[in-house]
Amino acid sequence: MGTAHPTRDKTMQVTEELIRNVVERVLAQVGTGGSHNGSHSTCRSHRGRFGVFDNVDDAVAAATEAFEQLSERTIEDRKRIIDHIRRISIEQCVELGTMEMNETRIGRLEHKIEKLKTLGERTPGVEFLRSEVFSGDHGLAVIEHAPFGVIGCITPVTHSLPTITGNAVSMIAGGNTLVVNPHPSGKLVAAEGVRRFNEAIYRDLGIDNLICVIAEPTIDSADAIFNHRGVKLICVTGGPAVARAAMKASKRAIVAGPGNPPVVVDETADLDRAARSIIQGGAYDNNLLCIAEKEVFVVSEVFDAMMAAMDRAGAVRLNAREVDALTKVAITSVGEGSHKHDVPHKDFLGQDAAVLARGIGKNIPAKTEMIFGETDEHNPFVPVEQMMPFLPFVRVRDVDEAIAKAKHYEHGFRHTAIIHSNNVRNMTKMGRALDTTLFVKNGPCMSSLGLGGEGYLSFSIATPTGEGVTTPLTFTRERRCSLIDDLCILGAGARG
């Protein structure tokens, strides 16, 4: 065999790759040490870790070191860094999306892939940063948007790497670095994506660990991030428990919390368009989006026609007995006493419509995107954020009752609400009553994130804390720079 061996074969080429591998191994060994309580190590570098860490102290120390290096660089360098994240998300979307699907086992593969590609293409970057200027008789004041430093991020299992991708683009555009505690069920793809992003950035710009991830995330490591004095800001994307925990943290938190988006269909709606929209939004990634349609209130005048429109659009209707059977297996209770509440059963959460149907002994085509059925408002599918492609349709007297019930079952999350109507008064009434962060009219939920509608994209929509669809500016501090009496070149000014 003519295989080259490093120590025996004199003809072996000392390739660039070989040198790089050796250097990386040495750097990784040197960089395994850490610091405590957030004071970052000055004698040990974390280069070569490519952002993957065993503990929060080391991750924060590395992200702090990376932040100091990033602060010495230009805005153009930030753009170059983000371009690597975009390129990897787009070019490797099939491989990374498949990895995410295989690990989390929820959602739909084609949407896992599409989410990475779309976030790579559409998340706003440095172009979103803009300064404001006041000029007048007393000179000039410029307001610039400066970074916070290290941002602690908590990400959901529903979009593990996509959330990190979007957060990384927005936060680095604002000049920050990140330490991420991913959901334990999406930790492998999170670490692999982060490793690829950092490696590409390091090779091009020589900065490692701009995005750090905890390899074995736990509630304790999330708490350690919340309380670390090296972490300057928290950004949490997740359900009720983590949203509550972040709101109690001792530092500022941007909280992208849960939703239960209601849909209202009134008598003026284009029913076929409404049906297509409800399926497009509600079935996307098997209903995992926090903005996705979760329950539908239809006025009685058009209720039967709306159900027929859903049939025509390709959804499969369940009869009352089938709805009952699905409710029994797909929704379960957790907690004790006053804490007892319904949640989606993990065997059904994020599964295909055909899997849900099979769970009640019904065979439907594998490509079916959504199943649906008539329920009353007390069916658990109405209040619960089910995250599976079955939608309950509730018959209501008129639009006022529809809006009142939509408001009730949105639970005051102020997240997302949707109406299908051609009556602007009804739209206005619902918009005012629901008071949600996103209010969509006559389209699928994702059109509110610039996907088929106007506006821009982010997968962290800050609801209880009010920042809305996050952008690079969300992750910046305002700084004002004032020059007194000069540089306003209009008129005489205070100097005369």
Does the CA dihedral 240-245-249-253 come out positive or negative?
Answer: negative
Shortest spacing between CB 188 and ligand NAD, in angstroms: 14
Q: Which stretch binds ligand NAD (CB under 6 A): 44-52, 138-146, 188-196, 232-240?
A: 232-240
C-alpha to C-alpha distance for 206 and 369, rounded to whole angstroms: 45
Contact call for residues 152 and 231 (beta carbons, < 8 A): yes
User: Helix, strand or coil for residue 395?
Assistant: strand
d(CA 199, CA 82): 13
E strand or H helix that includes residue 134: strand 132-136
359 class by beta-carbon count within 10 Å (0-12 exposed, 13-18 middle, 19+ buried)? middle
Among 48, 120, 230, 257, binds ligand NAD (CB under 6 A): 257
User: Pattern of binders to ligand NAD over 454-483, x per CB under 6 A?
Assistant: -----xxx-x--------------------
Report in angstroms how near the CB of residue 72 gets to ligand NAD at its nearest. 32
Which position among 47, 49, 108, 183 is part of the footprint of ligand NAD (CB under 6 A)? Answer: 183
Which window, 28-36, 52-60, 80-88, 253-261, contacts ligand NAD (CB under 6 A)?
A: 253-261
By beta-carbon proximity to ligand NAD, the closer residue of 206 and 335 is 335
For the CB of residue 42, give the shortest distance to ligand NAD in the complex, in Å: 31
- 226, 249 contact by CB (below 8 A): yes
Q: Does 191 bind ligand NAD (CB under 6 A)?
A: no
Binding segment (CB under 6 A) for ligand NAD, from list 97-105, 175-183, 294-302, 370-378: 175-183
As beta bridge partners, residue 139 has 136, 484
Contact flag: residue 241 with ligand NAD (CB under 6 A): yes
* 146 touches ligand NAD (CB under 6 A): no
**Residue closer to ligand NAD, measured from CB, 426 or 470:** 470
Of 239, 241, 302, 242, the residue nearest 274 (C-alpha): 302
In the complex, minimum distance from the CB of residue 115 to ligand NAD, in angstroms, rounded to a whole number: 11
Q: What part of residues 153-172 is at the interface with ligand NAD (CB under 6 A)?
A: 154-158
* The three-state (H, E, C) secondary structure of 138-200, written as one string: CEEEEEEEEECCEEEEECCCCCHHHHHHHHHHHHHHCCCEEEEECCHHHHHHHHHHHHHHHHH
Q: Which burial class, exposed, middle or buried, applies to 373 when counting CB atoms under 10 A from its CB (0-12, 13-18, 19+)?
A: buried
Q: Which one among 239, 262, 350, 472 touches ligand NAD, defined by CB under 6 A?
A: 239
Nearer to ligand NAD, 348 or 459 (CB): 459
Comparing CB distances to ligand NAD, the nearer of 164 and 201 is 164
Instruction: Compute the distance between CA of residue 254 and CA of residue 232 in angstroms, rounded to an integer.
Output: 12
> Interface with ligand NAD by CB under 6 A: which residues?
154-158, 181-184, 219, 222, 237-239, 241-242, 245, 256-259, 290, 385, 459-461, 463
